[in-house]
Amino acid sequence: MVTDVKHVGFRIQDEKVWEEFKEYVRKKYGKLHTALAIEATQALREYLERHAYGGVCESDLEKKIYHLLSVERSMTLRELEAALRVEGERIEAAADKLAAEGKIMSLSLPKGIKIYAIKNDGTLDLSTLPPELQRGMIINACGNKDKGVSYAKLYEILYSQPP
């Protein structure tokens, strides 16, 4: 029996989708009780694999790093360590692998500071900018993450024009 369950409640905007999902589960399992939770969990997992992680991560640690960066836009290595509570060398190796594969961006600053950033936050793809602008955007996104500013808005603030 599963002990670490989470009760969730939400409204479905498209009733037809919900009814189709329930019918799928009913046909597959012959019932809805417990089976609905199993299939909903799997559907959410598959959605995250495809969208939140961009289908790009191999290990769980890479997925966690990619997900954190997709939410925060950019983080220092120390911030990743604190958030994930994992040894810094493992995080750095996983993040560097993602950067080497072109899935995230990495920036090394003086005094050994490393910043990692998601390439595209849905408003602006940093890889389309010249390197000096990429650097400025990554540093400013890291410094302003508590304000929840998108890349496009940050670009507009910094350079007084839309991207």
pLDDT confidence of residue 8 = 84
- Report the distance separating Cα 115 and Cα 2, nearest Å: 39
- Report the distance separating Cα 15 and Cα 19, nearest Å: 6
CATH code at 85? 1.10.10.10
Residues 103 and 135 in one domain: yes
Give pLDDT tens digits for 100-109.
Answer: 988 899 999 9
How many residues comprise the chain?
Answer: 163
What residue numbers bound the domain in which 106 lies?
60-159
Q: Name the average pLDDT for the chain.
A: 84
Residues 48 and 78 in one domain: no
In a domain, 43, yes or no: yes
Least confident residue range of 55-64, 78-87, 94-103: 55-64
pLDDT confidence of residue 99 = 92
- Report the distance separating Cα 74 and Cα 100, nearest Å: 16
Question: Are the beta carbons of 157 and 149 closer than 8 angstroms?
Answer: yes
In a domain, 21, yes or no: yes
Question: Are the beta carbons of 123 and 150 closer than 8 angstroms?
Answer: yes
Q: Which residue(s) pair with 115 in the sheet?
A: 76, 107
Residues 95 and 26 in one domain: no
Within 10 angstroms of residue 27's Cβ, the number of other Cβ atoms is: 8
At 44, the pLDDT band (50, 70, 90 cuts) reads: confident
At 163, the pLDDT band (50, 70, 90 cuts) reads: low
Helix, strand, coil percentages for the chain (3-state, nearest 5) = 60, 10, 30
Q: How many domains does the chain have?
A: 2
Q: Is the pLDDT of residue 3 over 70?
A: no
**Mean pLDDT of all residues in 75-88:** 86
Residues 40 and 72 in one domain: no
Residues 67 and 35 in one domain: no
At 148, the pLDDT band (50, 70, 90 cuts) reads: confident
Residues 113 and 43 in one domain: no
Amino acid letter, residue 78: R
Phi, psi of 56 (to 5 degrees): -110, -10
